[in-house]
């Protein structure tokens, strides 16, 4: 009898302990995520008549959305941004550094620290640093660098806007890929490599026949996390270009912000947000299922 | 033809040297790429004639740093950031400590749904939430300001309380939204660390006559300290570097934090004080870098989010 009440009291205690965190996440993340769906069915606005009294418009926002070239442009830009920086840029450079750091090189901690540095910098400072790097005119840092190769000064953020933000995000995320892939490399048993060497396998063969297959789970995990985090980027691109010039760097997050708070169309902005939520939830469910996440 | 007569052991050392050189070359090139943007900010922060361009300073000066602390807005941005992010981090640690412990110890039906829920919540992209969160904040803001107006009729007091407790353009709102955004990861980390502490320790303490509070203070918290460190560091780094929430919910200059203050100062194209801004960027970046250096060893644990094997 006493045991039962003690157990009950403990169970009640767990619920109380959970409550504050749950309340905050519910109020500021879960409820808003669902609320986005209902807002996307209204003509809610930040200014004007609809701001006082928004009305239900059914799927009108969505039909407008799918006919809006700016929305498709934003999706395309997001896709190129994610593939260019997370799937290719960060992954290739991160994998190369992880492989190089596997070897008995000297000054390992120094290389490690330098590669990690960009990852620790706040988004706003990243934008600030790279605006100086990309500065136009012959004194811009990048322009002086390419001048060694005989390239004329460029207006990087105007001529190659999308490439520029891909370079910046690649720069920022090498560390993340390197750290995750290093932990994957460390988990490969060393005797497999020795056995392959004894059998006379070359470096290239070892890499493609042993390292890559053994790394597949880690690579998959990396691809998932980096896709999701890159999909959610806002500040990094906003401080660099605010989506411009002419929407060329308007990734989904910035498109939502611009539609909602620059064009004041909250209902329409919410419809874009719904698309973005659905995409990330699909990714999340695939992840939980495919990796058989144990909780 | 030399290669043919070379013994196989020499062959191995040759390829060894070659791949060793390749490793150094890779690391040096990638490191240069990583370091390049920092040269400007570090040099310009001490350069009396700082500009937008990378240049060798004519002299070394600490004036830009002194300026930050003499200049009212610079000091205010730093303090606001410290207060808001600091409070959000502490709040996150308290709530995540309780939540993580409960999630680790309970066997109730809500355990698994909640853990899967937290993974999904971590995947929600913050920019997708801005419109509905803005609405929620607006609602809470009206409510709290109604309360404040009931509480006191003194306009000056109303303004002061409104600054503290408003959800839009007030400290409380920013602290709570940062806290909410950092909670999923923090709870996850705390849960993982509590999982590693055997329940026996608590039971042993209880058998020895320790009260619940004594058990928490002398057994649980000391054992979970690395977990608190990891959770706190990540909450701090993420909230400190966040740009979106301050952009959404601050407008008055008194509430400006570092990211937004710097961003707006930088937008005044005609009058950018590069010395001031680069020095500020250094000050803004240092705490994040130091925290990251400590947090690095915990990093791989946070990626997996419960993936085993």
- Residue B60 placed within a domain: no
Q: Which positions in chain B touch A256 (Cβ < 8 Å)?
A: 127-128, 130-131
Could you tell me how many helices (H) and strands (E) chain A has, helices first?
Answer: 17, 0
Average pLDDT over chain A, rounded to an integer? 88
- The C-alpha angle with vertex A280 and arms to A278 and A286, in degrees rounded to 5, equals 105
Residue A78 corresponds to which tokens in the numbers above? Answer: 């997001």
Q: Of B229, B243, B230, B244, which is closest to residue B303 (Cα–Cα)? A: B230
- Whether A135 contacts A58, CB under 8 Å: no
- The answer, yes or no, to whether residue B51 has pLDDT greater than 90, is no
Residue A115: how many CA atoms within 13 Å on its side-chain side?
A: 31
- Residue B219 placed within a domain: yes
Is A207 within 8 Å of chain B by CB?
A: no
Q: What is the pLDDT of residue B13?
A: 61
Q: Of B259, B277, B264, which is closest to residue B52 (Cα–Cα)? A: B277
As for how many domains chain A has, the answer is 1
Q: Distance (Å, rounded) from C-alpha B278 to C-alpha A159?
A: 26
Contact B136 A27 (CB under 8 A): yes
- The answer, yes or no, to whether residue B242 has pLDDT greater than 60, is yes
Q: Distance (Å, rounded) from C-alpha B250 to C-alpha A112?
A: 37
Contact A117 B15 (CB under 8 A): no
**Any residues with CB less than 8 A from the CB of B275 and at least 6 apart, and which?**
B44, B45, B47, B48, B50, B63, B64, B67
CATH code of the domain in which B219 resides = 1.10.3720.10
Provide the shortest C-alpha distance from residue A267 to chain B (in Å): 8
Please tell me whether the peptide bond between A245 and the residue prior to it is cis, using omega within 30 degrees of 0.
yes
Contact B180 A27 (CB under 8 A): yes
Q: Which positions in chain B touch A30 (Cβ < 8 Å)?
A: 117, 121
Of B34, B52, B187, the CB nearest to A174: B34
Q: What is the pLDDT of residue B6?
A: 44
- Residue A31 placed within a domain: yes
Q: Of B260, B259, B253, B248, which is closest to residue B138 (Cα–Cα)? A: B248
- The answer, yes or no, to whether residue A37 has pLDDT greater than 60, is yes
Annotate chain A with DSSP letters as a single string: -HHHHHHHHHHHHHHHHHHHHHHHHIIIIIHHHHHHHHHTTB---SSSHHHHS--B-TTHHHHHHHT-HHHHHHHHHHHHHIIIIIIIIIHHHHHHHHHHHHS--SSHHHHHHHHHHHHHS-HHHHHHHHHHHT--STTSHHHHHHHTTTPPP--HHHHSHHHHHHHHHHHHHHHHHHHHHHHHHHTS-HHHHHHHHHTT--HHHHIIIIIHHHHHHHHHHHHHHHHHHHHT--HHHHHHHTT-STTTT--HHHHHHIIIIIS--HHHHHHHHHHHHHHHHHHHHHHHHHTT---
- Residue A281 placed within a domain: yes
Q: Which positions in chain B touch A82 (Cβ < 8 Å)?
A: none
Instruction: Report H helices in B196-257.
Output: 199-207, 212-215, 221-223, 225-241, 244-249
Contact A128 B99 (CB under 8 A): no
Q: What share of chain B is helix, strand, coil (3-state, %, to 5)?
A: 80, 0, 20
As for how many domains chain B has, the answer is 1
User: pLDDT digits over A2-14, tens only?
Assistant: 556 777 788 888 8
Q: What is the pLDDT of residue B176?
A: 96
Residue A9 corresponds to which tokens in the numbers above? Answer: 């009291």
Q: What is the pLDDT of residue B276?
A: 85
- The answer, yes or no, to whether residue A264 has pLDDT greater than 90, is no
- Residue A13 placed within a domain: no
**Confidence label for B309 from pLDDT (cuts 50, 70 and 90):** very low
Is A4 within 8 Å of chain B by CB?
A: no
Contact B121 A183 (CB under 8 A): no
| Region B214-240 average pLDDT | 90
- Residue B75 placed within a domain: no
Q: What is the pLDDT of residue B4?
A: 44
- Residue B29 placed within a domain: no
Q: Which positions in chain A touch B103 (Cβ < 8 Å)?
A: 18
Which carries the bigger pLDDT value, residue A169 or residue A289? A169
Per-residue CA distances from B225 to A55, B82, B219, B220 (Å): 52, 23, 10, 8
**Confidence label for A293 from pLDDT (cuts 50, 70 and 90):** low
**Confidence label for B214 from pLDDT (cuts 50, 70 and 90):** confident
| Region A32-57 average pLDDT | 82
User: pLDDT digits over A119-133, tens only?
Assistant: 999 999 999 999 889
Q: What percent of chain A has pLDDT over 90?
A: 46
- The answer, yes or no, to whether residue B111 has pLDDT greater than 60, is yes
- The answer, yes or no, to whether residue B5 has pLDDT greater than 80, is no
Q: Distance (Å, rounded) from C-alpha A56 to C-alpha A37?
A: 12
Least confident of A70-84, B53-67, B280-294: B53-67
User: pLDDT digits over A191-204, tens only?
Assistant: 888 898 888 888 88
Residue B7: how many CA atoms within 13 Å on its side-chain side?
A: 2
- The answer, yes or no, to whether residue A212 has pLDDT greater than 80, is yes
Per-residue CA distances from B179 to A29, A287, B154, B171, B234 (Å): 11, 26, 31, 12, 12
Annotate A82-104 with DSSP letters as a single string: IIIIIIIIIHHHHHHHHHHHHS-
- The answer, yes or no, to whether residue B72 has pLDDT greater than 80, is no
Contact B240 A125 (CB under 8 A): no
Range of the domain at A138: 21-290
Region for residue A242 given its phi and psi (left: phi exceeds 0; alpha: psi -120 to 50; beta: otherwise):
left
* B interface test, pick of A11, A13, A29, A134 with most B CB neighbours within 10 Å: A29
Q: Distance (Å, rounded) from C-alpha B20 to C-alpha A3?
A: 66
Three-state SS for A56? Answer: strand
| Region A32-39 average pLDDT | 92
- The answer, yes or no, to whether residue B307 has pLDDT greater than 50, is no
- Whether B235 contacts B93, CB under 8 Å: yes
Of A122, A217, A232, the CB nearest to B288: A122
- Residue A11 placed within a domain: no
Of A14, A121, A277, the CB nearest to B285: A121
Q: In angstroms, how far apart are the furthest CA atoms of chain A?
A: 86
Of A36, A179, A203, the CB nearest to B15: A203
- Residue B87 placed within a domain: yes
**What angle in degrees, to the nearest 10, is found between the helix axes of B8-45 and A161-186?**
130
Contact A128 B262 (CB under 8 A): yes
Chain A residue at shortest CA distance from B107: A11
- The answer, yes or no, to whether residue B285 has pLDDT greater than 90, is yes
Long-range contacts of A4-13 (CB under 8 A, 24+ apart): A11/B106, A11/B108, A13/B102
Q: Distance (Å, rounded) from C-alpha B274 to C-alpha A122?
A: 18
User: pLDDT digits over A59-103, tens only?
Assistant: 888 988 899 999 999 999 999 999 999 999 999 999 999 999 988
Contact B132 A114 (CB under 8 A): no
User: pLDDT digits over B21-45, tens only?
Assistant: 889 999 999 999 999 999 988 888 8
Chain A residue at shortest CA distance from B125: A232
Using only C-alpha atoms, what is the Rg of chain B? Answer: 26
**Confidence label for B3 from pLDDT (cuts 50, 70 and 90):** very low
Residue B32 corresponds to which tokens in the numbers above? Answer: 């240069």
User: pLDDT digits over B188-205, tens only?
Assistant: 999 989 998 888 888 888
- The answer, yes or no, to whether residue B247 has pLDDT greater than 70, is yes
Average pLDDT over chain B, rounded to an integer? 86
Of B31, B117, B176, the CB nearest to A24: B176
Q: Distance (Å, rounded) from C-alpha B4 to C-alpha B259?
A: 63
Q: What is the pLDDT of residue A143?
A: 85
- Residue B210 placed within a domain: yes
**Confidence label for B2 from pLDDT (cuts 50, 70 and 90):** very low
Contact B285 A93 (CB under 8 A): no
Range of the domain at B267: 80-303
Q: What is the pLDDT of residue B208?
A: 86
Q: What share of chain A is helix, strand, coil (3-state, %, to 5)?
A: 75, 0, 25
**Confidence label for B70 from pLDDT (cuts 50, 70 and 90):** confident
* B interface test, pick of A39, A52, A124 with most B CB neighbours within 10 Å: A124
CATH code of the domain in which A187 resides = 1.10.3720.10
């Amino acid at each position: 009898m006493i045991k039962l009440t003690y157990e009950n009291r403990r169970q009640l205690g767990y619920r109380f302990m959970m409550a504050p965190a749950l309340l905050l996440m519910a109020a500021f993340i879960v409820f808003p995520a669902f609320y986005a769906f209902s807002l996307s069915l209204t003509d809610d606005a930040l200014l004007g008549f609809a701001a006082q009294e928004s009305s239900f418009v059914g799927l009108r926002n969505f039909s407008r959305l799918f006919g809006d070239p700016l929305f498709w442009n934003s999706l395309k830009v997001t896709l190129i941004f994610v593939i260019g920086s997370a799937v290719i840029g960060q992954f290739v450079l991160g994998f190369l550094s992880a492989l190089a750091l596997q070897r008995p090189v000297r000054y390992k901690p120094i290389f490690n620290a330098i590669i990690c540095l960009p990852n620790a910098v706040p988004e706003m400072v990243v934008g600030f640093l790279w605006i100086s790097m990309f500065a136009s005119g012959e004194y811009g840092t990048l322009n002086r660098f390419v001048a060694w190769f005989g390239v004329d000064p460029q207006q990087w953020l105007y001529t190659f806007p999308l490439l520029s933000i891909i370079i910046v995000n690649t720069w920022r995320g090498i560390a993340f890929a390197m750290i995750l892939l290093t932990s994957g490399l460390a988990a490969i048993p060393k005797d497999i490599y020795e056995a392959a060497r004894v059998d006379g396998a070359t470096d290239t063969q070892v890499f493609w026949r042993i390292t890559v297959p053994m790394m597949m789970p880690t690579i998959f995990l990396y691809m998932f996390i980096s896709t999701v985090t890159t999909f959610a980027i806002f500040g990094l691109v906003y401080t660099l270009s605010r989506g411009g010039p002419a929407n060329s760097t308007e990734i989904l997050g910035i498109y939502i912000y611009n539609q909602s708070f620059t064009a004041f169309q909250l209902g329409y902005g919410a419809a874009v947000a719904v698309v973005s939520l659905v995409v990330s939830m699909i990714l999340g469910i695939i992840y939980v299922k495919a990796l058989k996440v144990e909780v | 033809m030399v290669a043919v007569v070379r013994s196989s052991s020499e062959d191995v050392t040759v390829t060894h040297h070659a791949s060793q050189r390749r490793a150094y070359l890779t690391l040096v090139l990638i490191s240069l790429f990583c370091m390049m943007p920092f040269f400007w900010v570090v040099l310009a922060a001490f350069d009396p004639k700082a500009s937008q361009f990378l240049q060798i300073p004519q002299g070394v000066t600490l004036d830009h740093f002194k300026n930050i602390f003499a200049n009212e807005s610079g000091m205010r941005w730093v303090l606001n950031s410290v207060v808001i992010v600091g409070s959000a981090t502490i709040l996150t640690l308290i709530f995540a400590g309780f939540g993580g412990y409960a999630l680790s110890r309970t066997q109730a039906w809500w355990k698994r749904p909640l853990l899967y829920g937290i993974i999904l919540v971590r995947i929600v992209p913050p920019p997708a939430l801005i419109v509905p969160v803005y609405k929620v904040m607006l609602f809470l803001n009206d409510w709290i300001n109604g309360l404040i107006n009931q509480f006191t009729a003194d306009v000056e007091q109303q303004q002061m309380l409104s600054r503290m407790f408003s959800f839009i353009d007030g400290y409380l709102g920013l602290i709570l939204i940062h806290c909410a955004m950092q909670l999923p990861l923090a709870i996850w980390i705390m849960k993982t660390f509590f999982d590693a502490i055997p329940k026996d320790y608590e039971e042993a303490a209880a058998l020895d006559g320790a009260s619940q509070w004594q058990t928490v203070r002398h057994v649980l918290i000391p054992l979970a300290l690395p977990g608190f460190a990891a959770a706190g560091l990540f909450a701090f780094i993420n909230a400190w570097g966040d740009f979106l929430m301050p952009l959404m919910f601050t407008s008055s200059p008194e509430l400006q934090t570092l990211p937004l203050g710097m961003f707006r100062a930088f937008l005044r194209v005609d009058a950018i004080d590069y010395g001031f801004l680069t020095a500020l960027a250094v000050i803004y970046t240092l705490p994040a870098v130091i925290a990251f250096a400590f947090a690095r060893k915990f990093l791989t644990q946070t990626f997996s989010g419960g993936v085993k094997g």
